[in-house]
Amino acid sequence: MVNSERLVQWQTAFVEWLNEQDWFLKLKAKWEELDPQSRTYLKTAGVIGTVLIVFILTLSSVWRGYSLRSELSEKNELLNMIQSSNEELRHLREINNAAPAGSGPSSNGDSQWNGYFESITGTAGLDKTSLGVSSEKPGNSTDTVKESLFDLNLKHVSIKQVVRYAFYLENGSRPVKLRNLRIDTNSDPAGYMDATLAVSAFAMVPTK
C-alpha cells in the first residue's frame, strides 16, 4: 500500500513538473491543434515505433547471447585441443623415458620403426612376410617431437586382418596415427586384398 501511494505521488509530481515546462506546453498546444485523424496517425506511428524499438533491442540481446555462446564454444574447443596436445606430448615423454638408451626410433629411424611395425603383425594375426615398409620420410616435426612418415604395404590379407592391424597400430605402445588407407581387392574371388596404410610415427627429440 505504501509503495502504491509513493508511486501515485511520484506520478502526480512528474505530471505537475511536466506541465510547467515550456516545451511540453508547446507540444501539447500543437497536439490539440491537430484533427482527430492526424492524432490517430501519430498514435499509430508511436505504437509502431515503440514496438520496433523493443524488437530491435530484443534482437540485439539475442544476437549478443548467440555471439557469447559461440565465443565460449570456440574457447572450449581450443582448450580441449590444448589439453589433447599436452596429453599426447606427455605420452611421448613417458615412452621416451621408458625406452632403453639407444633403442628408441630416433636413434636409428627406419630399422627401429620397421621392427615395431613387424611386431604388430603378430598381434594382428598376420605373417611378417605379408608386410612391406617404405623408407622413412620426414613429417611436421618440432623442437621436441619428430614425425616420420611411412607407407605400410600388406599383401594378400583379409579385410579383418587389415582392420585388426590398423587398430593395434594406433593403440600400441608407440604413438602412431593412421593418415590414409588404400585397398586393392585385385578382383580376388577368395576375398583377399592388398592394402597400403599411410601412417605418421612420432618420437621425442633427444634433449641436448
Tens digits of residue pLDDT in 129-186: 999 999 999 988 888 888 999 999 999 998 888 899 999 998 888 899 999 999 888 7
**Containing structural domain, residue 200:** 105-204
Residue 170: name the closest of 152, 146, 192, 193 by CA. 152
Least reliable range by pLDDT among 4-13, 83-92, 110-119, 193-202: 83-92
In a domain, residue 38? The reply is no
Helix axes 22-33, 2-19, angle to 10 degrees: 80
Is 0.85 surpassed by the pTM of this model?
no
- b/e burial code for range 97-116 (CB count within 10 A of at least 16 → b): eebeeeebbeeebeebbbeb
Q: Which residue in the block uniquely carries the three cell numbers 491543434?
A: 33
Q: Read off the pLDDT of residues 16-50 as tens digits, 9 standing for 90 and up.
A: 787 777 877 777 777 777 777 777 877 787 788 78
CA distance 94 to 81: 20
CATH number reported for the structural domain that contains residue 190 in this entry = 3.30.70.60
CA atoms within 13 A on the CB side of 140: 1
For the chain, what is the domain count?
1
- For residue 190, being part of any structural domain is answered with yes
Question: Does some domain include residue 151?
Answer: yes
Inform me whether the pLDDT recorded for 14 exceeds 90.
no
